[in-house]
Every structure is written in C-alpha cells, then in structure tokens.
C-alpha cells in the first residue's frame, strides 16, 4: 500500500501548536475535519478513541516519532506496515524531520512510494 492511498495531504500540519499528547491528537483530528475527511460530529469520538488507544499502549516509536492511530477495518494493517517500514529507516526519518511544509512532506512520501531508494 502506498502513502498516497491513505495519507490526507490536505490535513498535514508541519508544526503542531499543541504542547501535550492529547492536544496534539485533537489538533490532528481537527485537521481531518477541516480537510473534509471527518465530520465535526465524528471528531469527538475519533479523538476519544485515539486517546484511549494511547492510554492503553503508546504509539510512540522513540527518536521523536509517534504514529497515533486506532484500528478500523479499512486496510488498517497494510497502512501501518508501510508507515513502520519507512520509519525504521534513519534516512527516511532524517528527511521527514526536515520537512517544513505540507508540500515537502507530500514530495517525500511520493518519493518513498516510487521506489526502494530508502
């Protein structure tokens, strides 16, 4: 599964304003609402589900990386496999940290989709 199949590039936030975990989750969910991927009514439930998941087991991977998520039926495991495969590579993480704009991140993920150069 490629990044472009499950990443909403319109919801990318290069620099979060939140200073704590729950605030960051709420900010990310809000971005999905603004991008039209979730309704405003769904936002509270999704935020609550992700926070609950984080309370059960952190999705932090270390080295400044976390992948907050909750399980859903829609190819969840395939998407997570792709994310974790790339995040295990130091070079990918280095370029990920250097992204300053949504366009930078979209370019990086499209490049990652195109081949094994990572």
Q: How confident is the model over 39-77, as pLDDT tens digits? A: 999 999 999 999 999 999 888 877 777 778 777 686 778
Clarify whether residues 32 and 53 are in a common domain.
yes
Say if residue 26 is in the same domain as residue 55.
Answer: yes
Shared-domain flag, residues 57 and 84:
no
In a domain, 13, yes or no: no
Q: Is the pLDDT of residue 78 over 90?
A: no
- Report the b/e string of 79-93 with b at 16+ CB within 10 A: bbebbeebbeeeebb
Range of the domain at 76: 72-118
Domain assignment present for residue 11? The answer is: no
For residues 51 and 33, state if they share a domain: yes
Task: Using a pLDDT cut of 70, give the percent of the chain over it.
Answer: 96
* Average pLDDT along the chain: 88
- 83 shares its domain with 58: no
Give the pLDDT of residue 116: 66
């Amino acid at each position: 599964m490629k990044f472009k199949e499950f990443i909403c590039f319109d919801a990318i936030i290069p620099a979060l304003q939140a200073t704590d975990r729950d605030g960051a989750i709420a900010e990310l969910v809000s971005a999905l609402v603004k991008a039209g991927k979730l309704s405003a009514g769904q936002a509270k439930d999704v935020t609550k589900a992700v926070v609950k998941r984080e309370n059960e087991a952190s999705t932090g991977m270390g080295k400044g990386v976390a992948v907050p998520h909750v399980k859903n039926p829609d190819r969840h495991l395939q998407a997570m496999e792709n994310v974790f495969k790339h995040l295990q590579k130091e070079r990918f993480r280095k370029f990920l940290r250097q992204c300053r704009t949504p366009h930078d991140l979209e370019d990086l993920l499209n490049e990652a989709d195109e081949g094994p150069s990572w």
